[in-house]
Amino acid sequence: MARELDFVIPGALKTRTGGYIYDRRMVQGLRTLGWCVNVHELDPGFPHPSTDALDEAGRVLARIPGGRPVVIDGLALGGMAALAERFASRLRLIALIHHPLALETGLAPATAERLRQSERRCLAAASRVITTSSRTALGLAGYGVLPEHISVVCPGTDRAPLARGTRDHRVNLLCVASLTPRKGHALLFSALAPLRDRAWRLTCAGSIVRAPGTAESLRLQIDALGLGDRILLAGELADRALNACYDEADVFVLASHHEGYGMVLSEALARGLPIVATEAGAIPETVPADAALLVPTGGCEPLTAALGRIMDDHTLRARLADGARRARSRLTTWPEAVGQFEAAVRTACPHE
């Protein structure tokens, strides 16, 4: 008989962001290993749910048979502290933390503190905590989570062909990230503005609807900087179109203010792309030093300097690309990651 597991997420599992891709691959992988995985898609308003959304989440958890392991994505879990405490004695709750909610960029201090306290309560109620990076695991010490209660399961990466890059003198830059404040597009655009005398083009692939206000602000910024012919907001791309963007890229760029792991960085490494990124969160853990130029988080001038260096110095780009190609052979595969995830789930159910 197949082992049963329930997986609770906010919104649709098909959503094309790193966290949802991780969740989706774990669900698919566990099913391949013989698990019966029941996916429950809650209201997308989490971690700021309405009363009706919380009531429905309570009904979802109440329908799950007692003793069943239940993985709850942290984006949902952090908004349901009272429910986590209510069901902790009946279900084996497993918290899946991509990054602490209070670290989201742009939150009002009161909102960040409310999320921090809510997530602390949720983590205390969990039988097991799974994080997607060692950096995030270390950060949970501040939430009172003991290291022995945490399993680190980094994302996997699909094997991919090496990027062929541009065919002319222009340096093609690629950023893959939803247009949300945390991803630092505004910082990236400001850092690129002083480099308009170089030959470059930036393609930004990622949702423009998750944070419409941010997307509109970025459009206005591009116009104000006079970079409309240099920066393309391509929106969310299907796999074929996104793969074409990776293939045509010369450099991958990411100016995030925080990253719990940074799956797109591993995807760039899988294609042998040199990287320019910030040192935000787990990025230094994800990207080897010989494949990237990493700069302090939030600083415009260091980012401009790094971008200028990699545009001007073909030898540097080639050296970092060599580092990325060495790293691609060491990347964890998705089947390996799923195996680690399964082991973490079994740790939460030691007597079964």
Q: pLDDT category, 168, cuts 50, 70, 90?
A: confident
Closest-CA residue to 210 (of 187, 235, 188): 235
Q: pLDDT category, 351, cuts 50, 70, 90?
A: low
For residue range 288-312, list pLDDT tens digits in order: 999 999 999 988 999 999 999 999 9
Cα separations (Å) of 260 from 47, 98, 133, 221, 263?
17, 5, 6, 27, 9
For residue range 59-95, list pLDDT tens digits in order: 999 999 999 999 999 999 999 999 999 999 999 999 9
For residue range 39-58, list pLDDT tens digits in order: 999 999 999 999 999 999 99
Pick the CATH number of 171-328 from 3.40.50.2000, 3.60.15.10, 1.10.3720.10, 3.40.190.10: 3.40.50.2000
- The CA-based diameter of the chain, rounded to the nearest angstrom, is 65
For residue range 171-218, list pLDDT tens digits in order: 999 999 999 999 999 999 999 999 999 999 999 999 999 899 999 999
Q: How many CA atoms lie within 13 A of 111 on its CB side?
A: 9
* Structure confidence at residue 2 (pLDDT): 64
Residue 1 has pLDDT above 80, yes or no: no
CB 33 within 8 A of CB 342: yes
Q: 4-156+332-348: what CATH class?
A: alpha beta
Same CATH topology for 4-156+332-348 and 171-328?
yes
Domain ranges of the chain: 4-156+332-348, 171-328
Quote the tokens at residue 241: 């179109």
